[in-house]
Structure 1
């Protein structure tokens, strides 16, 4: 299992996985039009990912990665700068046929190592209370979870791997 930066060749493979093994709403922002993987939606998928190729230092301040398992692309993950440069947000999707195998947990562990290399102090993620696979991957990687009062969503805070956790302040 590995996670690699998205490039032109892997983008074509990633789109094929998405079309074959996921619905558009699972893997990309909404696009107007009829449901399913229309030509327009496939082009929007490509454009979305091409715009993120410059990485964390680029104008969108986001990096996309492909997740490979047994040599095949099975999904994608991202890191994005949020409010502060030392806070990154992460998210990922896996093809339906690859879910429930621990791939998301392992991919998140690799993303946390990548975040540590960028000197991020914190990684955050947002999910829903019903996304048990995401919650499991987050918990297994040491996330602190909190529920949003307004939305019912779940917010996760993680410390990048290979970065020491902040030590508690001693009070005299």
Structure 2
């Protein structure tokens, strides 16, 4: 089949073989399993003190971070996290967060190492831009580093305007939300 197959079912959005689902208690353990199996903690979550690796404390911090975001963009943290699935299998996570007003949302994502470079991140970003449009956003922002060439390629490929960042982020990206997928 050529082109992109599109469908929307409840809170699930599908583009081709990539799907985003808001993280809930059922999907959280599967997401954690992918992170432990195929990513480093510093790639997928805020820093946690202690020895390196996926310690029990770090795994619980991962769960707590996502559980705090279950209420979504209208919840107290004004942030939602999603599982990214490719061909029905969880392969990473993406997020949207309100920055200032509902018109500006921040995004970020991670993919399991074994899934990188397959177009999944780009497809997930297109879905996120549709979600942002449905939420009323006029701008979606993302920050990354000049060394994250994969993220820069995905951002450029989705029409981002890239400018020098501040602090730890070398590059600041601005995108326009697209037509909801």
- Give TM-score, length-normalised by structure 2: 0.87
Provide the secondary structure at the position in 1 that maps to 2:102: coil
Aligned pair partner of 2:134 in 117, 134, 152: 117
- Give TM-score, length-normalised by structure 1: 0.92
Equivalent position of 2:74 in the other structure: 57
Aligned pair partner of 1:66 in 63, 83, 97: 83
**1:9 offset after TM fit, Å?**
1.2
Runs of 5+ unmatched residues, structure 1 = 164-172
Partners of 1:70 and 1:151 lie apart in 2 by: 34
User: Aligned residue pairs: how many?
Assistant: 163
Q: CA RMSD in A?
A: 1.2
- Structure with the greater alpha carbon radius of gyration: 1
**1:148 offset after TM fit, Å?**
2.5
Partners of 1:116 and 1:18 lie apart in 2 by: 28
* 1:40-77 alpha-carbon deviations (Å, 9 max, x no partner): 00000000000000000000000000000011000000
Equivalent position of 1:37 in the other structure: 54
Runs of 5+ unmatched residues, structure 2 = 1-17
**1:149 offset after TM fit, Å?**
6.2
Aligned residue runs from structure 1 range 13-28, under 5 A: 13-28=30-45
Higher strand share: 2
Equivalent position of 1:158 in the other structure: 175
**1:18 offset after TM fit, Å?**
0.2
Aligned pair partner of 2:100 in 71, 83, 86: 83
Partners of 2:159 and 2:133 lie apart in 1 by: 15
